[in-house]
Amino acid sequence: MPQVTFIEHNGTAHTVDAVIGKSLMEAAVDNSVPGIDADCGGACACATCHVFVTPEWEAKTGDRTEAEIAMLNFAAEVKPNSRLSCQITVTAELDGLVVHMPDGQH
Amino acid sequence: MNDAPFPLGLHDHEAYSLPLDKLDVSQGRLFQDQLHLPYFERLRREDPVHYCADSQFGPYWSITKYNDIVAVDSNNKVFSSASEFGGITIRDRRPEVRRESFIAMDAPRHDDQRKAVSPIVAPQNLARMEAGIRERAGKVLDDLPRGEVFNWVEKVSIELTTQMLAILFDFPWEDRRMLTRWSDVATADIAAGVVKTEEEREEILAECLAYFTRLWNERVNADMQPDLLSMMAHSPATRNMTPDQFLGNLILLIVGGNDTTRNSMSGSVLFMHGNPDQYAKLKANPLLLDSAVPEIIRYQTPLSHMRRTALEDQEVGGKLIKKGDKVVMWYCSGNRDDTAIENPNAFIIDRKRPRQHLSFGFGIHRCVGNRLAEMQLKIVWEEILKRFDRIEVVGPEKRVFSSFVHGIEDLPVIVHGK
């Protein structure tokens, strides 16, 4: 099972098992990682599972969808490597993935 | 006293006494008398995407199930919020009194205007505001009468949300109740009596515009400050608004920051009173407020609906919605949909996924102040738990006649000290 690491805004790291085929957001929520609110439950209809993908992983996590860009547009602190973690599907290739979190989800 | 009208003998209820095509859930009295939930339960079971051909607001579609609401709310290309088609409420205002605001506007102009004000509720700003919110909440609670009946809505809910709004606008403190008045006037159903005619509403809102225009003129020539007016006055997206657009955005921000949290704050007292087991859990573990607060917001659903207008034909839940049709997303119904939320008619402060509710909407128009609202509610309850043993509701609440604002006007309570 791939392992992924979520790093909170305060630096606390959470390495968890992620299920292939489920979303990165679900890996956080299923393992009670704080800081991923995921209010809409994965419908790409809010922006509360916002993460920053570390540069070396950007190619493997893919491109943002149009709907994702529309929602990220309203997040508080958007960077070029911002993603909604509900839109990243876990694959074997993502074993070792590291993402950072903003200091709040809106 | 429990908010939910269940358990009722469902088939005895008037919601089941009418043929399906005659059901009209838009009537303000249903919400005022808390009869609306069985109507929506019937629609969810029998006709979840329902067409009402004839109502005081004209024909409209009702979207009643959680997932259908998320789908419509997220599809802003097909389902427009623009004021030119009627905006975001079931009531079509006459074209001459329709006005734009960024909630009643589609992308991309919506996006630019929203971003002009959204930094005020960014995480750093929320952190900056927290101590002040706590201090003001503590003062309001300390000043409450002990051992006598008073109206919680007036003394706590309105006062705290109005103070918050005055701070966000940097509005003259002594005049802050004008904000409450303008908010009530802007949303009132004419049948509710707050204003008697649309002309009277427009006269009062013109006073609001005149007052804020004075403040705008001061701020536009001053240095940028972190208040909503200065932010609009200094942003390229909003600094050249017409007076009507300015008033539209003012009403949006006033109503959005006022009516909504006010009613969740009042509802929360009713829910805790009506669910002593849940309140006992909260007293034993105040950390549960993190999940109790979103549960309060779900259970209250301070805005019962949002409306859209179809820009093209679109199928929803097996029904064909035609271009030009009015589509009403009933958040109050989706929040009680048992296919999305377990045991939805129960108030449960430690739900596993408490934030999965529709009260803030979803998609690009999702409530911009959602985390501020949660913070205000959390702080007021933290301060209540420090001071009081409980807040006893001692009489029936009086509710607002409206199928838009799910409001409480009068909530007689006695506070019991520790």
Judged against a pLDDT cut of 90, whether residue B347 lies above it is answered with: yes
**Which CATH number fits the domain B10-417, given the four candidates 2.40.170.20, 1.10.15.40, 1.10.10.10, 1.10.630.10?**
1.10.630.10
Return the pLDDT at B207.
Answer: 97
Q: Regarding predicted confidence, which is higher, B343 or B14?
A: B343
Single-letter amino acid, residue B410: D
CB B304 within 8 Å of CB B294: no
How many residues in total does chain B contain? 418
Cα B37 to Cα B15: distance, rounded to the nearest angstrom? 9
Judged against a pLDDT cut of 90, whether residue B308 lies above it is answered with: yes
Cβ <8 Å between B122 and A41? no
CB B365 within 8 Å of CB B73: yes
Judged against a pLDDT cut of 50, whether residue B5 lies above it is answered with: no
Domain annotation for chain A: domains and CATH numbers: 3-100 (3.10.20.30)
CB A75 within 8 Å of CB A102: yes
Judged against a pLDDT cut of 90, whether residue B62 lies above it is answered with: yes
Return the pLDDT at B53.
Answer: 97
Q: What is the mean pLDDT of residues B84-93?
A: 92
DSSP string, B79-144: EE--GGGTTTSSS---GGG----GGGS-TTHHHHHHHHHGGGGSHHHHHHHHHHHHHHHHHHHHTS
Q: What is the mean pLDDT of residues B108-133?
A: 92
Cβ <8 Å between A77 and B122? yes
Q: Tell whether A44 lies on the interface with B, counting CB pairs under 8 A.
A: yes
What pTM value is reported for the model?
A: 0.94
Alpha carbon of A41: minimum distance to chain B alpha carbons (Å): 7
Judged against a pLDDT cut of 80, whether residue B6 lies above it is answered with: no
Question: What is the 8-class DSSP label of residue B34?
Answer: T
Q: What is the mean pLDDT of residues B99-108?
A: 91
Cα B80 to Cα B173: distance, rounded to the nearest angstrom? 37
Judged against a pLDDT cut of 90, whether residue B243 lies above it is answered with: yes
What is the ipTM metric for this complex? 0.91
Q: Tell whether A41 lies on the interface with B, counting CB pairs under 8 A.
A: yes
Q: What is the mean pLDDT of residues B87-104?
A: 88
Cβ <8 Å between A44 and B74? yes
Alpha carbon of B123: minimum distance to chain A alpha carbons (Å): 6
Q: What is the mean pLDDT of residues B125-149?
A: 95
Banded model confidence at residue B56, pLDDT cuts 50, 70, 90 = very high
Give the CA distances from residue B94 to residues A61, B196, B206, B264, in Å, rounded to whole numbers and listed in that order.
Answer: 49, 16, 17, 30
Q: What is the mean pLDDT of residues A59-76?
A: 91
DSSP string, B259-321: HHHHHHHHHHHHHHHH-HHHHHHHHH-GGGHHHHHHHHHHHH-SB-EEEEEESS-EEETTEEE
Using DSSP, state whether B206 is helix, strand or coil: helix
Return the pLDDT at B12.
Answer: 55
Which residues, 6+ apart, have CB-to-CB distance to B130 below 8 Å? B375, B379
Query: Closest Cα partner for B298 from B233, B238, B356, B223?
Result: B356
Cβ <8 Å between A39 and B355? yes
Judged against a pLDDT cut of 80, whether residue B285 lies above it is answered with: yes
Structure tokens at B353: 């996924």
Average pLDDT score, chain B: 93
